Amino acid sequence: MLRPRRYRQNKVLRDLFQETQLHLSNLILPVFVHDQVESVDIPMLDGHQRLDEISLIKYCELALSKGISTIAIFPSIDNEKKSSDCLEALNEDNLMCHVTRRIKKTFGNDLMIVGDIALDPYSSDGHDGLVKDGEILNDETVQLLAKMACIQAEAGVDILAPSDMMDGRVLAIRDALDTNGFNHKLIMSYTAKYASSFYGPFRSALNSAPKSGDKKSYQMNIANRVEASIELDLDVSEGADIVMVKPAGLYLDIVSDFRNSCGLPIAAYQVSGEYAMLKVAAQANIFNFESALMESLLCIKRAGATIILSYGALEVADMLNT
Ligand code: PBG
């Protein structure tokens, strides 16, 4: 008789039969930067700060020393630089481009940079697209995003990551990159990005919450699974190199669907609210933070993700390195 407990008798056997491993090389660490002389704590995201430029460089060194070699940079833009036309996004010397040049000069190809392509950090309306009479303009936004991607690519961003959910943006970004000499730059598309409640700490970090309305006219309905396959087909045909599911932990059915129907690398974003929940629950002694974090990430990987973005990447590195 097959007795599955035979697989679990001792640690060596358990390890022998372990199907999924977390590797540091598959993790991406999201980082926040601002244009101030000192770093400032992000209260909802314990352990994370809006970093000043010098601290950002040190943080990159720290990440590399622990084995994390890809970061996703999110710039916190000063309020006076936000506008309804979001033109700061196209400023070649904006904070994102500036810190990217600095990081690339210091670390070259040892550290890969992911650049977020969406207008919300630059928008006085707090939306990912241009807003007119309460509507989010699709095609006008896409034109801007394509330019934004080229500007970030020029500054040295390695992986362009459209997180805006406008229709047609991957194609427009791919075309713009290719015609401007950037055919080697990767696109990691936020393919199935849901209108989730779990983005709160991120929006507080960037002060980027929508000023009116919500993001439901562009981010996906949380109740929908089949519709994600439409987004997937489009992003594959438009030229995405990596397709992402976001959030991660509550959306493992989507991760698994993507794995089963697509050969591209799949990324999953364990978002700010997922990470904050782990922190708060651990502080309330509901569980041990490290083991819960590890479980959450292993399960995302088991569902089929190759790449995981997590605010806990450095903490996982400490666990795997000891
Ligand atoms: C914005 C963007 C968001 C996140 C990544 N890019 C927030 C949003 O869509 O409102 C969320 C990430 C997180 O919560 O960790 N384009």
Nearest-10 Cα torsion for 53, 55, 57, 59: -140
- For helices 272-283 and 289-303, the axis angle rounded to 10 degrees is 150
Assess whether the C-beta atom of 163 lies below 6 angstroms from ligand 1. Answer: yes
Q: How far is the CA of 12 from the centre of ligand 1 (A)?
A: 40
pLDDT at 288 (0 to 100) = 98
Nearest-10 Cα torsion for 69, 74, 77, 82: 140
Q: Determine contact, residues 135/219, Cβ cutoff 8 Å.
A: no
User: Among 241, 219, 246, which residue's Cα sits nearest to residue 309?
Assistant: 246
Could you report how far apart the first and last alpha carbons of the chain are, in Å?
39
* 193 counts as catalytic: yes
Q: How far is the CA of 4 from the centre of ligand 1 (A)?
A: 42
Q: How far is the CA of 280 from the centre of ligand 1 (A)?
A: 20
* Ligand 1 pocket test target in 163, 198, 275 with most atoms within 8 Å of CB: 163
pLDDT at 18 (0 to 100) = 98
pLDDT at 291 (0 to 100) = 98
Q: How many residues does the chain have?
A: 322
Residue in 66, 185, 193, 215 annotated catalytic = 193
Assess whether the C-beta atom of 199 lies below 6 angstroms from ligand 1. Answer: yes
Percent of the chain with pLDDT over 90: 99
Q: How far is the CA of 182 from the centre of ligand 1 (A)?
A: 25
- Close Cβ partners of 300 (under 8 Å, ≥ 6 residues apart): 248, 249, 252, 255, 268, 270, 308
Atom 11 (ligand 1) nearest CA = 199
pTM of the predicted model as reported, rounded to 2 decimal places: 0.97
pLDDT in tens, 21-65: 999 999 999 999 999 999 999 999 999 999 999 999 999 999 999
Predicted confidence band at 298 (pLDDT cuts at 50, 70, 90)?
A: very high
User: Among 161, 159, 178, 181, which residue's Cα sits nearest to residue 169?
Assistant: 161
* 246 counts as catalytic: yes
